[in-house]
Chains A and B, each alone.
Chain A
Amino acid sequence: MSDSPAQTAGSWEPRIIAFFCNWCTYTAADLAGVSRMKYPHNARVIRVMCSGRIDPQFILEALAKGADGVLIGGCHPNDCHYAEGNYKMLRRFRLLRRVLDGMGIAPDRVRLEWISAAEGDKVKTVMTEMVEKLRALGPLGAPDKFRDWDREMEEFEHAIQARQGQEVTHAH
């Protein structure tokens, strides 16, 4: 999957970065694998020890580097392996959701799910659902957007060079 949304085959596939906590969600995903459940290939997992480790910077960086969606998986409230890390993630998520809203990022793109170590089927369901929703939303394409935005400077650059030889012509 190349990082330009327009694939050679002509069909774009959403890319999801998933941050899974070691004790619950990562184990649940392993369980889904052991049980040979089938789900879309679009998510790539990064393992952390606890959802409390997940820095909002990771989520923003993933989006900025081209992810179309970010999935965060942690233990159910009250079950966190480290007592309360998942509450910290929940609180961050509630505010981050508002920030992302203000930055024009649809709520379905960043999702927080509580998945316990026994819930392999929930991994499958969440993955499938999220991919469907992202397909409907289309690519976020942040790197392309950054390039597009910065093109407005390049156009002008050409104009400067043009002016050094000729009359002013404005480029838009």
Chain B
Amino acid sequence: MPTRPKIGIYWCASCGGCEETVVDLAEDILGVVEKVDIVFWPVAMDFKKKDVEALPDLSLLATLLNGAVRSSEQEEMVRMLRRKSKYMIAFGSCAHTGGIPGLANQFSREHILRYVYEETPTTINNEKTRPQLRFAEADREVDLPEFRHVVRSLDQVVDVDYYIPGCPPTPNITRSALTALLDGRLPPKGTVLAPDIALCDECPRKATKPADLAFAEFNRPHQKLLDPSLCFLAQGIICMGPSTRSGCDAQCTKGNMPCTGCFGGTTRVKDQGAKMLSSLCANLVPKEEEAIDQVLDGLPDPIGTLYRYGLAKSLLRRRMDLPMETLPPAG
């Protein structure tokens, strides 16, 4: 009996949603499971790192890697899985473009650690204890992975063959990608496995898109009653649809929420956030600075809105005035 191709599924800085997608393949998961050998899937299966390390290089057909990369352990794992896999597939927004964890690139590492370990309202940590890279007790030494300064997408750490976008990728997209993989029908290396056209193409609200879009104000979704059939932009709600790939079946807009851009930009765009900024602003009504700023006040968090999933892969990647401090010495 011919051996089934081996697949690895691993998660880095992740929420677990991408793993859910694999589970959400529902009955199709059996179709997947019987066609492949999952040899590594920490959330669901009991294989260990050393089991994968023991496999020959390139013996996995593919690894589906979700989550952004921020720790030294994650770097080590993705490098190892890269060696072992013929195809490294960035699975989900975090691996594709840094995802929501990427927004941490607006802050310094020190700022984050201090907040998390000392300053949140529900934390009591009078000794200001912080995780240590290394801790010795008795005759043992334990260590923790290093928390890097910079959040990275997968391809900023290792060579990536394909991208399955989405937060999380839809079961449909995942199914098609896996089928293509198993049938050996893969497009050129580096392709994002979703249509290269913006979401408006498949959005059911497309017919209500106005031909004279002009923003006199912006509202956020919780600030008004959302008309379930009218284009969000026509309602003054920011929808990232025009700058975001389709392929997700417009689940968010069908669910009466605007698109937030999780499939990322098209191949024709280098920086999805910048392009959406350009489009929204071009369609503003006022012509004078003050009036313009007033309308833009309706967008309180431009980076969070425009770069929600893509900050790590944007042109600037990270806030430019942050330090690269060394961590306190081990001990």
Contact = CB atoms under 8 A, between A and B. Distances in A.
- Contact flag (A, B; Cβ within 8 A): yes
B31 interface: no
A161 to B, nearest CB: 11
Contacts of A57: 269-271, 274-275, 278, 315
Nearest to B293: A94
B320 A145 contact: yes
Interface string A126-152: 000000000000001010011011101
Contacts of B270: 57, 61
A99 B316 CA distance: 11
Contacts of A56: 271, 274-275, 277-278
Interface string B276-296: 011011101011010011001
Contacts of B324: 148-149, 152
A60 B314 contact: yes
Contacts of A94: 281, 289, 292-293, 296
Contact of A92 (B149, B269, B281, B315): B281
B176 interface: no
A142 B315 CA distance: 10
Contact of B273 (A87, A99, A159, A168): A99
B267 to A, nearest CB: 14
Interface in A34-87: 52, 55-57, 60-61, 63-64, 77, 84, 87
B134 interface: yes
A156 B106 contact: no
A159 B296 CA distance: 48
A142 B320 contact: yes
Given A95-B277, A96-B277, A153 B157 contact: yes
Interface in B240-296: 269-271, 273-275, 277-278, 280-282, 284, 286-287, 289, 292-293, 296
26 contacts: A55-B275, A55-B278, A56-B274, A57-B270, A60-B271, A61-B315, A63-B315, A63-B316, A64-B316, A91-B292, A95-B280, A98-B302, A99-B302, A102-B106, A103-B319, A103-B320, A140-B320, A142-B320, A149-B149, A149-B317, A152-B149, A153-B75, A156-B72, A168-B143, A170-B143, A172-B146
Interface of B: 72, 75-76, 79, 106, 133-134, 143, 146, 148-150, 156-157, 269-271, 273-275, 277-278, 280-282, 284, 286-287, 289, 292-293, 296, 299, 302-303, 306, 314-322, 324, 326-327, 329-330
